Amino acid sequence: MKIRYHCTQAELYSVCDSIIRNLDGKLADFVAYKGKYTAGFVTDLQGKLETAQNLGDFQLRGTESETDRIDLLELNKKCLLNFQFLQGYIDGAWKGAEERSIMKEAAGHKYYKPASQNNWEYTEGMNSNAMQFITAQSVVLQDGGMNMPAAFATTYSDDAKAYSKKYGEFLHATQTGVATQEKIKANNDLHAVVMAVCDDGKRVFAHDGGKLNLFVWRRVLEIVTPAGSAGLRVLVMNKNGEVIKGAKFSVWKKIAAKRGRKNKSSKFKVQSLKGDVMATAPYKSGVSGDDGVVLLKTVERGKYLWKISADGAQDITGEKRVLRGAVSRMKIVIE
């Protein structure tokens, strides 16, 4: 389903709330134009706004998926360690090299390497094969109490179930499904009804510019979201997909170098200018928290130079455009 409104979700709710309040304040004028404009109509419209707001937020679902991913990484480590233990028990139960290789393949060894690279579906396959193998070869693996502990099967099973449950939650949070479509539909319906009010407002106050502006979407948007109001959200991770805490992220306003027709060294000057700008105090800075996120609020729209520094890693720099009235997102992977 396509989004029909040309603004951020936060702006949609703010503008709609303002216009509904304006309608309530000028209801007598609207009643004279159309009989449908009653106190009940305003109440219903407020209900549409509240319903849309109360549905799971796109941003919230993004946050949920990031949180689930962090939990999934830890559960994946447990399952990988369990499989390493299982391979050790196989080495203890079968003496021949060829026989050991066959048994490890039966236990799911082919899934281990991609699972160790956080390919989640392969971990599911590894766990499934391992549990079936343990069940079928339990007596041989235990070797009369001299090899695999009897409780290991339960431990691996519990970890595998926890992983599978969290993986399902992760998929639900990241995939565009029924909940997202329901959210988009509610937002679109709210926008359509409020725009209809705006259209009528233009007719009712055709000769009163002051009141007319109360029902012009663009004018109300400018009030609730001042030009240039924006933000920047940065997720800092390492190459293994683990979030990094304590990384310092800074931005500088990008300044373009003037280029003359005969200036053949303009490219060099732009690069020199970048270094000069970043040698000054940054426009804004922040440090990543426990969730690996740096959030810079009220950032003016425009182009920025950025740098991130983390202990034990080389500084990384780049460029980013920040849009008006929105929280721009970026992910930085530190080697």
Q: Which of 235-239, 306-310, 322-326 has the lowest mean pLDDT?
A: 322-326
More confident residue, 27 or 3: 27
Q: Is the pLDDT of residue 147 over 50?
A: yes
Strand boundaries in the chain, DSSP class E: 231-238, 248-253, 284-287, 293-296, 302-309, 316-322, 327-334
Residue 228 pLDDT = 52
Q: Which of 60-64, 108-112, 161-165 has the lowest mean pLDDT?
A: 60-64
Q: Which of 27-41, 127-141, 169-183 has the lowest mean pLDDT?
A: 169-183
Alpha-carbon distance of 49 to 53, in angstroms, equals 6
Residue pLDDT, tens place only, 28-62: 999 999 999 999 999 999 999 999 888 765 444 44
HSE, CB side, 13 Å, CA atoms: give it for residue 271: 4
Structure tokens at 22: 């304006």
State phi, psi for 301 to the nearest 5 degrees.
-65, 155
Binning pLDDT at 50, 70 and 90, where does residue 162 land? very high
Q: Domain segments of the chain: what residues? A: 1-225, 231-334
HSE, CB side, 13 Å, CA atoms: give it for residue 218: 1
CA neighbor of 12 nearest in space, from 299, 225, 202, 210: 225
Binning pLDDT at 50, 70 and 90, where does residue 268 land? very low
Q: Is the pLDDT of residue 82 over 70?
A: yes
Q: Is the pLDDT of residue 263 over 60?
A: no
CATH T-level fold of 231-334: Immunoglobulin-like (2.60.40)
Binning pLDDT at 50, 70 and 90, where does residue 259 land? very low
Residue 196 pLDDT = 96
Binning pLDDT at 50, 70 and 90, where does residue 199 land? very high
3-state helix, strand, coil in the chain (%, to 5): 60, 15, 25
Strands 293-296 and 231-238: antiparallel
Q: Which of 59-63, 177-181, 272-276 has the lowest mean pLDDT?
A: 59-63
Structure tokens at 215: 């029902």
Residue 182 pLDDT = 80
Residue 126 pLDDT = 94
Q: How far is CA 322 from the centre of its chain?
A: 17
- Return mean pLDDT, the chain: 83
Tokens 């969290």 -> residue: 166
Residue 227 pLDDT = 52
The continuous run of DSSP H or E covering 243 comes out as none
Q: Is the pLDDT of residue 105 over 70?
A: yes
Residue 235 neighbours by CB under 8 Å, 6+ apart = 66, 243, 292, 293, 329, 330, 331, 332
pTM of the model: 0.41
Residue 269 pLDDT = 38
Residue 58 pLDDT = 47
Burial class (CB in 10 A: 0-12, 13-18, 19+), 125: middle
Residue 114 neighbours by CB under 8 Å, 6+ apart = 122
Structure tokens at 159: 């970890």
Its sign, for the CA torsion 8, 255, 315, 295, is negative
Tokens 């709330």 -> residue: 17
More confident residue, 187 or 239: 187
Query: How many CB atoms are closer than 10 A to CB 194?
Result: 25
Mean pLDDT of 74-89: 95
| DSSP-derived 3-state class of residue 325 | coil
Alpha-carbon distance of 205 to 29, in angstroms, equals 9
Residue pLDDT, tens place only, 318-335: 888 876 656 677 889 887
- Under 8 Å between Cβ of 127 and 79: yes
Q: Which of 12-21, 57-66, 77-86, 225-234 has the lowest mean pLDDT?
A: 57-66
